């Protein structure tokens, strides 16, 4: 049985006014970490950058502005032209990215096929996770 879902897509990165760069991005979900999704920018290169965020945040951001602080997400447009906007903030700077909303929505739907919404804790061992976090064990 598959325990992960990933998809490669190409996100747009806003540069100087009117400038846009294409950023290969891999969206990753693993059932053993049911609350989180990963966006890996420039996957399979020496320059890959990974951001981990809540799956619920992405789900909410498909239909309304969501997030605060380091990660903000919201939809724009409609139909085939609908985009998902993602703003990532760090001490090094801010990146504003866009992706085709339908591509992200289809991938997210596959993650719910692996672990349905509301069932994330069914196989989640809270004690083991706390031990891992507090003691650095796996």
Task: State pLDDT tens for residues 76-90.
Answer: 999 989 999 999 999
Q: Does domain 4-135 have CATH number 2.30.31.20?
A: yes
pTM of the shown model: 0.81
Domain boundaries, the chain: 4-135
Q: Give how far Cα 47 sits from Cα of 23, 41, 87, Å.
A: 12, 8, 19
Neighbours of 129 (CB within 10 A): 11
Look up residue 54 and give its two tokens.
Answer: 């809540």
Return the pLDDT at 111: 87
Q: Is 129 helix (H, G, I), strand (E, B) or coil?
A: helix
Confidence of residue 113 (pLDDT cuts 50, 70, 90): confident
């Amino acid at each position: 049985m598959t325990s992960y879902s990933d998809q490669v897509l190409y996100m747009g990165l806003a540069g100087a006014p009117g400038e846009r760069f294409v950023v290969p991005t891999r969206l990753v979900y693993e059932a053993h970490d049911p609350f989180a999704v990963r966006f890996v920018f420039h996957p399979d290169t020496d320059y890959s950058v990974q951001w981990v965020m809540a799956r619920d945040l992405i789900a909410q951001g498909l239909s309304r502005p969501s997030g605060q602080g380091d990660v903000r997400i919201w939809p724009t447009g409609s139909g085939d032209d609908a985009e998902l906007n993602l703003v990532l903030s760090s001490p090094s700077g801010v990146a504003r990215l866009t992706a085709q909303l339908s591509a992200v929505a289809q991938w997210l739907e596959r993650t719910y096929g692996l672990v349905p919404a509301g069932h994330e804790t069914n196989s989640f061992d809270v004690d083991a996770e706390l031990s891992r976090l507090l003691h650095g064990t796996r």
